[in-house]
Every structure is written in structure tokens, then in C-alpha cells.
Structure 1
Amino acid sequence: MAGNDSEITMADIDKLALEISAPDGPGSGNWKMESSQTKRVNDEVMDALRKNNGKIPGELEGVPALIITTTGAKTGKKRTLPLACQEIDGRLIIIASMGGAPRNPPWFHNLVHCPDVLIEKDGESFSARAVVTEGEDRDRLFQTVCANLPVFATYQKRTDRIIPVIELIRHR
């Protein structure tokens, strides 16, 4: 990683996104290497988020992010990873882009089958329910996210699938 272990750059993220969005998608080519690199970057981002009260230092400073824990659809195992997020009109939104890969990320499959998730954001942990948005609501939310984080528009251009937009509704 650039700089030091806790400084992740957009180049790091984009390199992983390009590898993940290879023509045949994850599982093709040297996926063990890609998976290892993804895990390393994810671990570094989660460590930075936890050490810095929900903020990522360095080049990604200011990019809103959270840590989500899903339950594996097949295994029942807990799966934890960092994701960019946006708060839009009081709604907490995440995007299942997988860098524009031809298929949805595994975590999306997990939350569709088990929508109850654990969220760590800005130094706080809470449980939430993941709801996949649809139609005009999905389109409006995605356009807003792309206006704030243009990389998601790039990811959409890399794939023929409609990238899912998910709302995380906090349990009361």
C-alpha cells in the first residue's frame, strides 16, 4: 500500500476493482491471489476505520465508509468487510458494485438471504436490516451516489448488470 500500512489509496482500490471485474469475473484467472489482495486491503481499511473513529486516513479521507457483517447464505458464518456508503435523505445506502464485475458480490448474495446485518459506522455499532431498493427509488439513489462518488458510475459502465443499491434500516 502507498505511504504506510494504514494509508489506502484510490490506486489500491481501483487496482482491486479492475482485477475483480476481469472479463470472466471473480473465480477466473488467478483468483486466489486476487482474493488474498482483497482480504489484505479490506483488513487494512477496517483497521483504519476502527482506529480513526470511522474515518479513513490518507487519500481516501472523506470517503464515507462503514463495516458490515453479513451471515453466509450457505455456511452461516459471519463475513465482515468495509464498504463505501452514503447517507441520502436520512437513509444509509451501500452499493453492490464489485468494481463493475459481471456478477454481484458474494456479500450481496448473503444479505439477500439473511438481511439482518451488523454495522460499524463512525465508531458506533448497530444492527440493521438490508433492503434492496428498486425502480425509480433505486435509480435516484444510484444517481445521487454517483454524483458524490463518481467511481460508481465507472463501475456501472464496466458491467451489463444493474448494480444493486441497498438501504440499511437501523433496528430500533
Structure 2
Amino acid sequence: MEGKVNAFFADRSFGFITDENGENRYFHLTKVVNPAAIKIDAEVTFKPIEREQGLGAVDIKVHFHGEHIFIADEKIKIAAIKQYNIYQKMQPLAREIKDNTIVSIGLLMNRIKPETAKAPAETEELLTYLEIELFHAESIIFTSHEIDIDEALSYLQLLPIRFIDKR
């Protein structure tokens, strides 16, 4: 069934939807697939139910208007997104080599001697990845160095798409 949110009380996590027949239906935020998108006048689809206290709604999905999302200059068609997930992985630190570096004899001798093992914290860092899996067997991967992962997540959570948190 289709409807429109006519009232939402965020502090109490509930609201009301006017259904396609003009009747008001109670809903709780826990029954919304994409809760970050709930707001007054949002268009929704839902499963109608009858409760002891009156009409209600469950399995609520807020409609998202638009065909594409943009993340870090990447244009992604919403209908092509199968799911998205977050994971973390240790990566070697990027080391910059300066051009025209003059190496002193002392530095050269230190390189000839065997190096002591460095602590992992000095050679690796923990990166967070956002992977968007598309239906045509392709994935787009962003790192926390490229984008603000939390901001991208808040936008993706508006969509009725499966999310897996592997952190």
C-alpha cells in the first residue's frame, strides 16, 4: 500500500501515515526499512495491519527520488546496487621517496646493517572500506582516505538496499 507520512515524533520514535484511502495509520520507527529517511511528507510503501488500538503499518519503505547517487565523483545508478558493506583491513603505510635525495655515508651504512623489526603500528594502518556491489558482478570500493565513510553511509541508508557491516 502507498501513503505519506503526516506526523513523526522523533523523540518518541513513532508517527502516522495517511494511506491511499485517506486513513491514518500508526507506525513505529523499528518497522521502517530505511529509518534515516523518515520525515513529514515522505512518500512510503508499507504493509497495512490492524492493531487493537487501530490501523497500523509495518515493513515501511521511504521512496527515494532520483535515479543516481554520487560518491566521490562516482555516479552510481541506484537500481544497479545489489548491496553495500563496510569492512576494515590493515594496509602498509604509504612511503614517500623524495627526488634528488643526497644520501650520507652514515645513512648508507645504516641501510647495509640488518634492520630491527618495526612495530606493526609503524608500518601499517587500519583502513575502513566501503564496498558497493552492483548486480552486474562489479564492485566499487572506496577507502576512508578517499571519502567520509560515515557521510556516505548516512546517504546510502536512505535507500532500501541491503547493508552488511563486517567491521
- Identify, as 1 or 2, the structure richer in strand: 2
Answer with 1 or 2: which has the greater Rg.
2
| TM-score in terms of structure 2 length | 0.23
User: In proportion to residue count, which structure has more helix?
Assistant: 1
> What TM-score, normalized to structure 1?
0.23
